Structure 1
Amino acid sequence: MLAVMDTFIRASLISALRDVAEEHGVAVESLLSEAGLDRGALDHPSNELSFDSAAQLLEIAAERFGDPAFGITLAERDPTGATGLLGYVVSHAPSVREALQAMVKYSGLLIYPGSIEFREDTTSGRLTWLYPLKHNKRRVQFALFANALTMIRLKKLVGRDWMPLAVEVEHPELSCTNRLRRIYGPRVNYNARENVVVIDRYTLERANKGADPILYQILQETAEIKLQELAGRSDLVARTAHAITEVLSTGPPLLERVAAWMRMSPRSLQNRLAQHNTTFERVLSDTRRSLAERYLRDSDIPLTEIAFLLGFSEQSAFTRAARAWFGCPPSQLRKEGRRDTKGERTA
């Protein structure tokens, strides 16, 4: 059985969280630890954070700071370079249409694997995107953040007073109505199945006055190279995750056993993973996490047996890991999963 590959985001995307936390007199490391992330997760812009952990991190921050629209607060900081190479490609696209096309084409530089597309008809264009982990309810702030950031970037290209023809967002309507209206405009549909921005054809054809055609070409070439590097990383991580899954069926997922299954030395596997900015321990944790979520939501396997299947020596170790991964004990996640499934069947 292949392990489900997690979705990752670049740390640069939420780097402004450190400054916001300091303004509230809170050490960002405490928020990271509470979300089950490494205390140095935001230290380097190229660090990778699992989508689920990043979403939980923003929920924790919103609660700690008493800000129900924290996602907007974070997006409005939008520091230069936060969206990295993708942001620079978009900012130098010749037109709004080409900026949106670049946003879709190179989105993997910030979040991968992702689901974003841009389509046109005779009157307008639709930018549509989805977030992973449909069962995870604790992602309102991340959806709010990413949606607001998208709108802010569009307004930088078109003009601060521009408003789309329509907006659909997956998160519910919040109490901060004025802030939502300022970001989305008056025509917004909440609790939608996907996130959509509808843009009129005239706006799509508008030239980007700040574009540099030569720099745009150079940035595109650089982005293509980076995407190829990420594709290589994804392949190596996927093969390592598959090897871990296979090894788990016969015993503990030790580095030596996984490397042997992949027909390479432990040092070689570690070095190759390091070249792709990850570690064996991180891939092991992500693989266990994906399998744990599947077992808990889609099966009735006892918790003691799940712990064994994931290579934990004791159920207590599995429980501690689940709390770090999901923010709750495995028994609670199983109950929530069954409740969600029941709701989907009766809907």
Structure 2
Amino acid sequence: MSGSKMDTPGHSVSSSEETLQPTTIGSYTVAIARALEASGVDSKRIFTAMGIALDVSTDPMNRVPAATMTRLFRACVDVTNNPYFGLTVAKHIHLTHLHALGYSLAASGTLMDFCRRLERYFRLVSQVAHASVTQADDQVSMRFDHLIGLSSETEDAFFGFLIRTMRLLYKQEFKPVRVELCRPMPHEGAGPYEALFRAPVLFGQASSLLVFNKDDLAQTLSGSCPELAQVNDNIIISYLARLDKSDVITGVTQKIIEFLPDGDCTRDKVASALCMSPTKLQLKLSQRGTNFQQLLDDTRKELACSYLSQASRPVTEITFLLGFSDTSNFTRAFKRWTGLSPTDFRQQG
């Protein structure tokens, strides 16, 4: 997703610049170039005119300023004379363009896992919106609250990509209950949106929103692979720690994951690894509304649920991977987190 703020030329930004403006993963521009070529336009000519490199790698640390993406989209709409250019781009975004997050999403157990993963790790894709997932009765909503002004093509491309990907992972007949977009409806009408989403589309809304049937999101996906998802989740966290150097929660979570298997994951050790005193760490976490023990519990719970979904991992191995001294301690903690024993949780899955 992209937006408009601080219109800076170029295709990448330094770490000091990143703190000043939101960025988007650079490989997103690959899909835009392919959409231009599919529209009969020389992408090299457009990218050169915009001062953007065509040979963008898939490294998620290769970032594009949000304002640059907005200028690029504006130029693409002008040169193609296509008000639905964003929907064309959606056809060319591939899961691999999202690096480790793409592989993790593809290995999700259900579409609900898919949505939760996107909620947790969306910052790797873009810093221009905040993703959140909520449930009410028989529906699940995935909302993107914009942190800056976004180009219309951004919403079109990303939502189109999400629905196309969900159909690829689940079934082609899949459709949302409702789609809400911040963008105004194009003068040419809503036809292409309704054809793509196969659902009512509302324009001019406060947030970008996808509403799903809860039952659809609970179905097991054929490509489910908890082990692969877990490996890539850990890779994502390491990249986020680099991207969000000032984010103490991301840094602490990364160190907890690193130290847990040693059975020596203490606040003092994590603080030392982050080059700060335990008191300073405690203060920084309290400013974010949390504390070390809460993050330790949350991380252990998330890892435990992920490991237990991997049938090849015995409970004794999981116990030590999470830093517990014996299975009885792990079982007590897991019951406190979920209300179930590890064995019952695994059988339910």
Q: TM-score range by the shorter chain?
A: 0.5 to 0.7
Q: Secondary structure at the match of 2:91?
A: helix
**2:115 corresponds to:** 100
Distance in 2 (CA, whole Å) between partners of 1:94 and 1:107 is: 18
Structure ranking higher on relative contact order (CA contacts 8 Å, 6+ apart) = 1
- Structure 2 counterpart of 1:82, from 94, 97, 101: 97
RMSD: 2.5
- Does 1:66 pair with 2:81? yes
Partner of 2:157: 145
2:181 alignment partner, one of 144, 147, 169: 169
Residues 222-272 of structure 1: CA distance to partner in whole angstroms, max 9, x if unpaired?
11222112122789xxxxxxxxxxxxxxxxxxxxxxxxxxxxxxxxxxxxx
What is the identity, as a one-letter code, of the residue corresponding to 2:68? Answer: S
Q: Quote how far apart the aligned CAs of 1:56 are.
A: 2.0
1:28 & 1:130 partners in 2: Cα distance? 31
Please show how residues 3-14 of structure 1 align to structure 2 within 5 Å: 5-14=20-29
C-alpha distance in structure 2 between counterparts of 1:95 and 1:31, whole Å: 39
Q: How does 1:150-229 map to 2 (within 5 A)?
A: 150-174=162-186, 175=188, 177-229=190-242
Q: Secondary structure at the match of 1:225?
A: helix
Give the 3-state SS of the residue equivalent to 2:219 in structure 1.
Answer: coil
After TM superposition, give the deviation of residue 185 of structure 1 in Å.
2.3
**Amino acid in structure 2 at the alignment position of 1:217:** Q
Q: What fraction of aligned residue pairs are identical, expressed as a percent? A: 14
Asked if 1:15 is matched to 2:27, the reply is: no
Within 5 Å, give how 1:294-313 maps onto structure 2: none
- Partner Cα separation in structure 1 for residue 175 and residue 127 of structure 2: 28
CA distance in 2, matches of 1:169, 1:114: 13
Match runs of 1:217-296 below 5 Å: 217-232=230-245
Structure 1 equivalent of residue 135 of structure 2: 120
Consecutive aligned runs of 4 or more in structure 1 exceeding 6 Å deviation: none
The answer as to whether partners of 1:14 and 1:74 remain within 8 angstroms in 2 is no
Letter in 1 for 2:155: A
CA 1:189–1:177 in structure 2 vs 1: closer, same or farther (change >3 Å)? Answer: closer
Is 2:111–2:221's contact at 8 Å kept on the other side of the alignment? yes
Query: Which residue in the other structure is 2:12 paired with?
Result: none
Deviations 1:269-290 (A, max 9, x none): xxxxxxxxxxxxxxxxxxxxxx
1:266 alignment partner in structure 2: none
> Residues of 2 paired with 1:156 and 1:225: CA distance?
28
Given that 1:7 and 1:114 are in contact with CA atoms closer than 8 Å, whether structure 2 keeps it comes out as no
Q: What CA distance in whole angstroms lies between the structure 1 residues aligned with 2:128 and 2:83? A: 28
Q: Do the aligned partners of 2:179 and 2:211 also contact (CA within 8 Å) in 1?
A: yes
Alignment check: 8 A CA contact 1:117 1:127 kept: yes
CA distance in 2, matches of 1:66, 1:113: 26
Aligned to 2:347: none
Per the normalisation by structure 1, the TM-score is: 0.60
1:14-40, CA deviations, whole angstroms, 9 ceiling, x for partnerless residues? 3122233345564434423544xx332
> What is the CA-CA distance between 1:118 and the residue it aligns to?
0.7
Runs of 5+ unmatched residues, structure 2: 1-16, 249-349
Candidates 117, 121, 126, aligned match of 1:111 = 126
CA distance in 2, matches of 1:141, 1:93: 27
The answer to whether the Cα contact below 8 Å between 2:111 and 2:219 also exists between their aligned partners in 1 is yes
Letter in 1 for 2:146: Y
The gaps in structure 1 that reach 5 residues or longer are 236-347
TM-score (norm 2): 0.60
Report SS of the residue matched to 2:192: helix
State the shift of 1:218 in Å. 1.1
